[in-house]
Amino acid sequence: MKKIGLIDVDGHNFPNIPLMKISAYHKAKGDHVEWYDPMFSGHMDKVYMSKVFSFTPDYDSPIYADEIEKGGSGYCISMVDGKEVYDKSKDKDLPYEIEHIYPDYSLYPEQTRETAYGHLSRGCPRGCAFCHVGCKEGRRSYKVADLSEFWRGQKNIVLCDPNILACPEHMELLQQLADSGAVVDF
């Protein structure tokens, strides 16, 4: 059993979906997973750090771990002359087996009570100057999951898709949402 630490660098009131999936993956393997705290966690085998926003300062407390892995848009996007610039060399996708696992909603009990979070599609054909989605996820919208990957009867669904209506399978995905009977926040 490994000791796995998680750090939500943004630390805001919105669940970090990749960290929830990483947690679920490691717990399924029998690993011990906890929020990392340098004062109380002790030495960890691996610590995952994730941030979404480029303007969030990086975590600056000491980390006692054999391995540290940083990921998320906040690490591959920087502000240059007031504009977000995406650097593909700094980006990494979650491995398939982690990307497609049901999230560990217990990490954010208050924010996820009766609410599921996830993506059904990625990418956007628009290419708006203020947005990094086209560079990061592609200039076309495409299906990445079925609703069952992150929803199991919760009353609410928060959909984080950049442009689900541009996805060729949008009618199928919208039908999944309608069939859920949940309140959907796009």
Cα(170)–Cα(44) distance, integer angstroms: 42
Q: Which whole-number Å values give the CA distances from 33 to 28, 44, 79, 86, 161, in the listed order?
A: 10, 10, 33, 31, 28
Q: One digit per residue, pLDDT tens: the chain, 186 residues?
A: 999 999 999 987 899 999 999 999 999 999 999 999 999 999 999 999 999 988 899 999 999 999 999 999 999 988 788 777 889 899 989 999 999 999 999 999 999 999 999 999 999 999 887 787 888 888 999 999 999 999 999 999 999 999 999 999 999 999 999 999 999 999
